[in-house]
Amino acid sequence: MERIAVIDFETTGISPSSSCRATEIAVVILERGHIVERYQSLMNAGVRVPGFIEQLTGISNAMLRTAPSAEQVMNEVNEFVGITPLLAHNAAFDQKFWDFEMGRIKRTRLQNFACSLLLARRLMPAAPNHKLGTLTTFADLPHTGQAHRAMADAEMAANLTAYLAQQLRQKHGLKELNHDLLCGLQKVPAAKVNEHLKRYRGF
């Protein structure tokens, strides 16, 4: 499978705004089922971290005071990712923050987001739920560090994506996978996944 940039944000809330911003980002590059490159940084957007978010993520206001600016980090991330296709677990969340933070440095996203949560709902229907930690345990994949820290979550999402790609090959007979296929599959109703994938078998 082509290179995919798997991203994860930690933030001060659920919807980006002048008072709700990203506090950390991690990106791992997944290539042929393996993580080959990594980028991670805290980012100081000049907003205060609420107490409950600090408890959840472990990211404190004191840590962010010495972190590079959000603008500096997003410029570095933009350079790191380039036009590599994007993926996140619960991508609707990360996409909002990616677009918001990119907009602040006057950049526009050129590539689509695939979502490992939506893909897992279609390819792992027997899982107890589709939270990243639950899926990692269910698939017997490695827990890569503290949950709700960007690098650990990005690595787990990348490992899950590699696992889902393996399932598509072994259980559904697909030989060639690409990001466009994943983006299309995540929109297909779960009951129609097998029918949808028939067109890709043998190619």
Q: What is the pLDDT of residues 21-75, one digit of tens each?
A: 999 999 999 999 999 999 999 999 999 999 999 999 999 999 999 999 999 999 9
d(CA 171, CA 174): 8
DSSP state of 187: T
**pTM of the full structure:** 0.95
CATH number at residue 140: 3.30.420.10
> Tell me, what's the pLDDT at 2?
87
pLDDT in tens, 92-114: 999 999 999 999 999 999 999 99
Who's near 4: CB < 8 A, 6+ residues apart? 29, 30, 31, 84, 85, 86, 87, 114, 161, 179
pLDDT in tens, 125-137: 999 999 999 999 9
> Other C-beta atoms within 10 Å of 180: how many?
12
> Tell me, what's the pLDDT at 9?
98
Give the residue numbers spanning the domain of 69: 4-199
What mean pLDDT is predicted for residues 9-31? Answer: 97
> Tell me, what's the pLDDT at 202?
56
Per the structure, the count of domains in the chain is 1
